[in-house]
Chains A and B, each alone.
Chain A
Amino acid sequence: GQNIDQPTEMTATEGAIVQINCTYQTSGFNGLFWYQQHAGEAPTFLSYNVLDGLEEKGRFSSFLSRSKGYSYLLLKELQMKDSASYLCAVRDGTNAGKSTFGDGTTLTVKP
Chain B
Amino acid sequence: NAGVTQTPKFQVLKTGQSMTLQCAQDMNHEYMSWYRQDPGMGLRLIHYSVGAGITDQGEVPNGYNVSRSTTEDFPLRLLSAAPSQTSVYFCASSRTGATEAFFGQGTRLTVV
Contact = CB atoms under 8 A, between A and B. Distances in A.
B35 A103 contact: no
B98 A102 contact: no
Interface string A39-78: 0011111001010000000000000000000000000000
B46 to A, nearest CB: 11
Size bracket of the B interface = 20 to 34
B1 interface: no
Most buried by A among B33, B35, B101: B101
Contacts of A91: 97-98
Size bracket of the A interface = 20 to 34
B41 interface: yes
A108 interface: no
Q: List the 5 closest pairs (A to B, CB-CB), nearest first.
A: A45-B100, A96-B97, A42-B103, A101-B42, A97-B50
Interface of A: 4, 30-31, 33, 35, 41-45, 48, 50, 87, 89, 91, 95-104
